[in-house]
Amino acid sequence: MSKLSEKRSATIPASEGYLVVDTKKCQGCMTCMLVCTLVHEGKENLTLSGIQVIQNPFEKFPNDLTVEQCRQCAMPRCVEACPTGAIHADSQNGNVRRINAEECTGCMACVEACPFPTSRILWDSEKEQARKCDLCADTPYWHEKGGPGGRQACVELCPVNAIKFTRKMPIKDTDADKGYKVNLRGSGWRNLGYSDQ
């Protein structure tokens, strides 16, 4: 890590909000992805969704599906990697890690820097800019207060309530699923005939 990155890392405050998901409850409808791009871009586009549902219908449950949401990392490598500071912790919105489109030069350093197997940084190949989940801090097409202090479209619209917003940082170690993939099933789910474990 460069000295600049170290300095940035030491000074980035933690996000005041996180998305957690129940990957066993998820029904793979991708409503979260569809509403994410609708509220941010005004159109439907799976590529530009800040939450990605990836599934294989030939696989066995529960390994057939995963939900990859931005983890709002405590030590965000995307922020550290950004040469212009376009990705930053937005102090006006609960320190959510978000991209200032005007400052993004399209270098893709953040895309490569994301430590997860599926990069949480999205790439808009038409505008040649990066995008990411901002917990709905800036949703030109949805007039609800978003960000950590407000509501998230994916949480609101998920038909099975498989996504939850929390103020509590799930874990300190950003390389594990623990804390970000949770159990949101209860007795209602048992009524459907499914296990709530």
Partner 1 sequence: MNGYTGKILRVNLTSGKTSVIPTQKYEQWGGGHGMGSAIFWDLAKEKAISGFDPRNVVTIMTSPLSGTLVPGASSRTEVQGIGPHTSPIEWFTRSNFGGRFSPMLKYAGWDGIVIEGRADKPVWLDIRNQDVNINDAGELWGMDTWQTQEEIWRRVVGSRKSEGWTVLGSEEDGPRTTQMPAVLTIGPAGENLSRIACLIHDAGHASGQGGFGGVWGSKNLKAISVIGTGSVNIANPGALIQACLWAQKKYGLDLDHPDESWYSWHGPRMPQFVLWERRKDARLKACIGCHLGCREISKSGLGNESVCVPTTFYRDADKERHKGRQTEAVYIASDLLQKYGINAYEAFKGLYYIKALNEMGVLGPGKQIDCDLDFSQFGETGFVEKFLKMTACREGRGDDFAEGFYRAAKQWGRLEQDLKTGLLEYPYWGLPEHGCDPRTQVEWGYGTILGDRDISEHDFSSLSLWVSKMKQKGFTVPFPAEQAVKLFTEKMTPFEGDMQMLDYSTDNIYSEHIAKLVAWHRYYTRFWKQSLLFCEMRWPDFINSKSPDLRGLTGEGEPKFFNAVTGKNFSFSDGIRLGRKIWNLDNVIWAVQGRHRDMVSFADYIYTKPFEGNRTFPEYYAPGLKNGKWDYILLNGRHLDKTEFEKFKTRYYKLEGWDIHTGRPLKKTLESLGLAHIADTFIPPLPRDC
Give the separation between CA 96 and CA 44, rounded to whole angstroms: 23
Among 5, 9, 14, 65, contact with partner 1 (rule: CB under 8 A): 65
Torsion sign over Cα 8, 10, 15, 19: positive
Facing residues of 88 across strands? Answer: 98
* Stretch 121-160 residues interacting with partner 1 (CB under 8 A): 121, 123, 125-126, 128, 141-143, 153, 156-157, 159-160
Q: Which one, of 155, 154, 153, 100, lies nearest residue 131 by Cα?
A: 100
Please give the sequence-ordered ranges of beta strands (E in DSSP) within 47-175, or none if there are none. 51-55, 65-69, 87-90, 96-99, 122-124, 129-131, 163-166
Among 5, 9, 14, 44, contact with partner 1 (rule: CB under 8 A): 44
Site membership for partner 1, residue 106 (CB under 8 A):
yes
Q: Closer to partner 1 at the Cβ: 102 or 193?
A: 193
Give the separation between CA 108 and CA 141, rounded to whole angstroms: 26
Site membership for partner 1, residue 177 (CB under 8 A):
no
- In the complex, which residues of this chain contact partner 1 (CB under 8 A)? 24, 26-31, 34-35, 37-39, 41-48, 52, 54, 56-62, 64-65, 68, 106, 108, 111-112, 114, 116-119, 121, 123, 125-126, 128, 141-143, 153, 156-157, 159-161, 186, 188-189, 191-195
